[in-house]
């Protein structure tokens, strides 16, 4: 298994290699299940940490991984509970719950984090960016744009966060409008 992780770290196409031999195919599936490599054959952060640990010589190494549960809870709390909200003095009514299937979301978020491409902070920043954008657009159009937000599981499965992570990484910000003061809806 460690050899497969080493090959994945060296960008060898181990998925194709393992498909040719049934025994290697089973070994490949086991390494994926253990989270050492991703399904596409790349070394995960856990796999990279394992290789780094094995290459340390005589040093006392203590690997401290943040608990995925803690990271997940931070993301879960950042995800809007419903599409009903108040923003800058204006209320928008909604009709549905947006946090769904917590356990499935936890598994999916763990897989996304293990790929190593995104951090939990980037995922939360992307979510907050998208929600703020929808709230600002709701204020401008006087219609609830947050009602178009996907539920939590669909959001993760379809990787809706990816374009927003790119915007956050590029340093983009949303120009916020002034609060509504004393207006009357007609």
Residue-wise pLDDT for 80-123, tens only, equals 988 888 888 888 888 888 888 888 988 888 888 888 888 888 89
pLDDT tens profile 17-33: 778 888 888 888 888 88
pLDDT of residue 156: 92
Mean pLDDT score, 130-148 = 87
107, 46 contact by CB (below 8 A): no
Q: Using pLDDT thresholds of 50, 70 and 90, give the confidence band for residue 186.
A: very low
Residue ranges of the domains in the chain?
A: 2-55, 68-169
Max mean pLDDT range (37-51, 59-73, 113-127): 113-127
Checking if the pLDDT of 180 tops 60, the result is no
């Amino acid at each position: 298994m460690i050899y497969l992780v080493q090959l994945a770290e060296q960008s060898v196409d181990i998925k194709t290699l393992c498909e040719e031999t049934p025994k290697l195919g089973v070994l490949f599936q086991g390494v994926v299940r253990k989270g050492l490599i991703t399904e596409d054959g790349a070394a995960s952060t856990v796999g990279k940490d394992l290789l780094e640990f094995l290459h340390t010589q005589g040093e006392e190494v203590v690997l401290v991984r943040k608990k995925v549960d803690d990271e997940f809870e931070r993301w879960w709390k950042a995800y809007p509970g419903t599409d009903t909200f108040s923003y800058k003095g204006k209320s928008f009514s909604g009709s549905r719950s947006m946090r769904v299937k917590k356990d499935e979301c936890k598994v999916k978020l763990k897989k996304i984090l293990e790929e190593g491409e995104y951090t939990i902070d980037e995922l939360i920043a992307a979510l907050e960016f998208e929600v703020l954008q929808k709230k600002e657009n709701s204020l401008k159009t006087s219609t609830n744009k947050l009602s178009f937000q996907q539920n939590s599981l669909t959001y993760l499965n379809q990787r809706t966060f990816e374009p927003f992570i790119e915007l956050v990484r590029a340093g983009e910000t949303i120009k916020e409008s002034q609060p509504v003061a004393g207006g009357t809806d007609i």
